Structure 1
Amino acid sequence: MCGRFALFSHPEALAFDLEAEGGFDFPPPRFNIAPGSPILALRSAPDGRRSFANLHWGLIPSWAKDRRFGYRTINARAETLAEKPSFRDAFMKRRCLIPADGFYEWETTDSGKQPYFIRRAEAGLLAFAGLWGRWTDRETGEVVESATIVVTRANDLVGRIHDRMPVILDPDDFGIWLDPRSAPGPTLKGLLRPMASESLDMHPVDPRVGRSTHDDPGLIQPIEGR
């Protein structure tokens, strides 16, 4: 799964790397993004224009009774996107990219759980495959746009500590994933694979990241002696 990640790249770099329209009010750098909070996402219109949006992390399908549904849908398994009612419609028509500078996973040890920060081996932005939806509160009329991160089996590197990881898309595949006209057939499903181990770096970090109230650059720094 992917339950925490960080995004601290400069807004201009984000817009350039993702070939998106400017003029968006970007959130401040964040080093411990947790489920239920707003996350930055990139969507594409049928004419190809890409724009950013802040979405609630935890996909709320249009038919959900209340927004608490989103706590069960922070991640979507790549293998069952086309079958699960919670994700099927979004996979067909509402795909997005969720930018990150890295994500966290936890290793279970004899002394407890040790978090690791995982990022590109040579630094740089990651783009998670995501799905988004729009839900209307039947009592208040409030419209909530939300998203989930697609996860797949772990590569050999991440597999040392966890059996799942986010689907990280290659820039050459952004266009087809984002295009709402792309049919959810073999081509799209073929993108839902783990990133190569040699493209990522992983190091242990401070267990403080386990509490979402902590949010500072120290969370991503390697722990000495590990």
Structure 2
Amino acid sequence: MCGRFTIIDPIEQIMDRYMASIADGFEYKPNYNAAPMHYIPTIIGSKRGNRLGTLRWGLVPSWANDDKIGNKMINARAETLAEKPAFKRLISSKRCIIPTNGFYEWKKEESTKRPMRILMKDDSIFSLAGLYDTWTDPDGNKLSTCTIITTEPNSLMEDIHNRMPVILRPEDEAEWLGRDNDDIQALLNLLKPYQASEMRAYEVPKEVGNVRNNNEDLIKEIS
């Protein structure tokens, strides 16, 4: 699964990376410990180009009775997207990218768990594949939420966890965000483990386990 990540680059750098404009009401500050139920930066394709805005992490389908289901839907398995009612209708038209520069996972070793940060070797921003939806409560208030798609681990991740988030190759991002792209099989084919040779991982302080902690000390490497 993927339950924590970082997005700490300046907003101008994120905008340049995705050639995105800012959605109305968007506010940004670096997040060293993004967690479920947080409002996280996301990229959505539109007729006017890519838009940078926020979605709450934890998908609430439009047909849900209430928003509590979001806690259970922070991830979606790539292998079963086309089968699950909450996800299959979103593949064709409600796809997003979650920009990040690293995600956390806990490596089990006997009776302990070591928090690891996984990132690109060049420390660059990369793209997690996601889906989004908008739910309306009984009073007419709208809530837009998202989920991060996961897949089998690559050779780097398999020593840490049995799942990893889908990382889109830069050359596939436009296809994933494309508003007119409804070739479901072609889209599903993008959801593969990322090339391990371009990634690295290192241990970080255990304080990252507490979602209240959110500072640059969390990404310091423990040697």
Q: What's the TM-score once normalised by structure 2's chain length?
A: 0.96
Q: 8 Å contact 2:23–2:51 — kept in the other structure?
A: no
Q: 8 Å contact 1:11–1:26 — kept in the other structure?
A: no
CA distance in 2, matches of 1:186, 1:82: 9
Q: 8 Å contact 1:91–1:184 — kept in the other structure?
A: no
Identical pairs, percent: 37
CA distance in 2, matches of 1:142, 1:22: 22
Superposed structure 1 runs of 4+ greater than 3 Å apart:
22-26
Per-residue deviation, 1:48: 5.4
CA distance in 2, matches of 1:82, 1:48: 28
Q: Secondary structure at the match of 1:181?
A: coil
Aligned-residue CA RMSD (Å):
1.3
Per-residue deviation, 1:27: 1.5
Amino acid paired to 2:38:
S
For residue 44 of structure 2, what is the aligned residue in structure 1?
A: 43
Per-residue deviation, 1:97: 0.5
Q: Secondary structure at the match of 2:133?
A: strand
Q: Secondary structure at the match of 2:140?
A: coil
Q: Does residue 206 of structure 1 match 2:205?
A: yes
Superposition pairs of residues 141-220 of structure 1, within 5 angstroms: 141-220=140-219
Superposition pairs of residues 115-154 of structure 1, within 5 angstroms: 115-138=115-138, 140-154=139-153
For residue 3 of structure 1, what is the aligned residue in structure 2?
A: 3
Per-residue deviation, 1:110: 2.2
Change over 3 Å in CA distance of 1:48–1:184 after alignment to 2: farther
Per-residue deviation, 1:22: 4.4
Amino acid paired to 2:45:
S
Per-residue deviation, 1:111: 3.8
CA distance in 1, matches of 2:23, 2:145: 21
Q: 8 Å contact 2:22–2:53 — kept in the other structure?
A: no
Per-residue deviation, 1:182: 1.2
Per-residue deviation, 1:101: 0.9
Amino acid paired to 1:84:
K
Question: 5+ unaligned residues in a row in structure 2: which ranges?
Answer: none
Q: 8 Å contact 1:39–1:57 — kept in the other structure?
A: yes
For residue 73 of structure 1, what is the aligned residue in structure 2?
A: 73
CA distance in 2, matches of 1:165, 1:48: 32
Per-residue deviation, 1:23: 7.1
Amino acid paired to 1:116:
M
CA distance in 2, matches of 1:185, 1:191: 10
Q: 8 Å contact 2:23–2:53 — kept in the other structure?
A: no
Question: 5+ unaligned residues in a row in structure 1: which ranges?
Answer: none
CA distance in 2, matches of 1:216, 1:105: 17
Q: Secondary structure at the match of 1:92?
A: coil
Q: Secondary structure at the match of 2:86?
A: coil
Q: Secondary structure at the match of 1:87?
A: helix
Amino acid paired to 1:87:
F
Q: Secondary structure at the match of 1:174?
A: helix
Amino acid paired to 1:197:
A
CA distance in 2, matches of 1:92, 1:107: 34
Q: Secondary structure at the match of 2:161?
A: coil
CA distance in 2, matches of 1:161, 1:101: 18
CA distance in 2, matches of 1:160, 1:71: 27
Aligned length in residues: 222
